[in-house]
Amino acid sequence: MKKCIAFCALLLVCTVGCQQNNPNSNKLKHSGNAVYYWQTWFSLDEQSQEFLEKNDIRTVYLRFFDVDINPTEYSSDKCAPVATVSIAEKSFGNLHIVPVIFITPAAIKEYESFTDNLAHRVYAMCKKNNISINEVQFDCDWTESTHDAYFQFIKAIRPALKEYFKKDIAISSTIRLHQLAQEPPAVDYGVLMCYNTGNFKDFKTENSILDVKDVEKYTKYLKKYALPLKLALPDFSWDVEFDGNHQFVRLNRGDYGELYDSTNLKHLKGNMYAVSPVGEEETTKYIRHEVVSAETILKSKALVEKHYGNMPIVLYHLDNKQLSKYSDDEIKAFFD
């Protein structure tokens, strides 16, 4: 614990002299701590409420639903909402709720077919659950091929939301590291996703969730990035499964200890495990168990802020099991 506190203190000292590199770095200075909630059932148990209070978190970015290509042949709609959250909370107290809508790259190309319906759905969900909002966030991994569609969608969604809410609604957007190389969308601010930095399908990748070397490749774009940014840091872990030929099989968001019989697991090196075959039809599998250390998170945070300046922090995401991997001091250092 003493080593961790000393390390955190050192990072803070190193960061203090590196602020104000980007003129936008102070525009979100007083927005406070925040957290994402990315599950399909929203209910804050006692442990979650204690976590929010302990870390002075007043803003929850709540994923409302995803927009994807319509999976059913019985509808003429090109796109449809999927994985809609069910909200159990009856009162949100002093929490500021920001609806987040994830739009797949395939769906954003069809934005004209769902923009108005999306705005109405957000309004209806807020009204049904007695949620008062001032902002909506959109999450889309747009690239050069979908750049124009996403930017046009952002332009079109503002008046659509205003029509239903009868007031101006702020718009924010997630920003992936690779998107820093392109012009920013016309939103009020962005949340820079400092995670999912590597290719999880590549057997040679050490940690696809977060690697400081991957983050460093994009820091050169931060000083001139013309958009106020918050910084999203990961607290999650996952397991990546490969077959005997090192080919990607699937991504498991659970825990390898729960998914496989521990007697069949053999530690190879680092975070790589082998799963021995248990039947004649099976072959050896490989599991890469990815967890991000507090040291890696803090190094990445310091690196980004060195090139951009102070950034409000959004932790991804509110999950008691995942958060239990970190001490209170480490969590505090993430937000400081």
Domain assignments of the chain as residue spans, ordered by start: 26-235+310-327
Q: Which of 233, 252, 251 is nearest to 298 (CA)?
A: 233
Q: What is the pLDDT of residue 127?
A: 96
Q: What is the pLDDT of residue 299?
A: 98
Strand partners, 79: 69
Q: What is the pLDDT of residue 87?
A: 95
Q: What is the pLDDT of residue 17?
A: 41
Burial class (CB in 10 A: 0-12, 13-18, 19+), 114: buried
Task: Write the pLDDT tens digit of every residue in 36-77.
Answer: 999 999 999 999 999 999 999 999 999 999 999 987 765 678
Locate tokens 């079109």: which residue? 156
| Number of Cα atoms under 13 Å in the Cβ half of residue 329 | 10
DSSP labels for 37-92?
A: E-SSEE---HHHHHHHHHTTEEEEEEEEEEEEE---TT---SEEEESPPEE--S--
Q: What is the pLDDT of residue 239?
A: 93
CATH architecture of the domain with range 26-235+310-327: Alpha-Beta Barrel (3.20)
Show pLDDT as tens, one digit a residue, over the chain (336 residues): 444 444 444 444 444 444 457 878 777 766 799 999 999 999 999 999 999 999 999 999 999 999 999 877 656 788 999 999 999 987 788 899 999 999 999 999 999 999 999 999 999 999 999 999 999 999 999 999 999 999 999 999 999 999 999 999 999 999 999 999 999 999 999 999 999 999 999 999 999 999 999 999 999 999 999 999 999 999 999 999 999 999 999 999 866 666 666 678 889 999 999 988 876 667 789 999 999 999 999 999 999 999 999 999 999 999 999 999 999 999 999 999
- Three-state DSSP at 330 gives helix
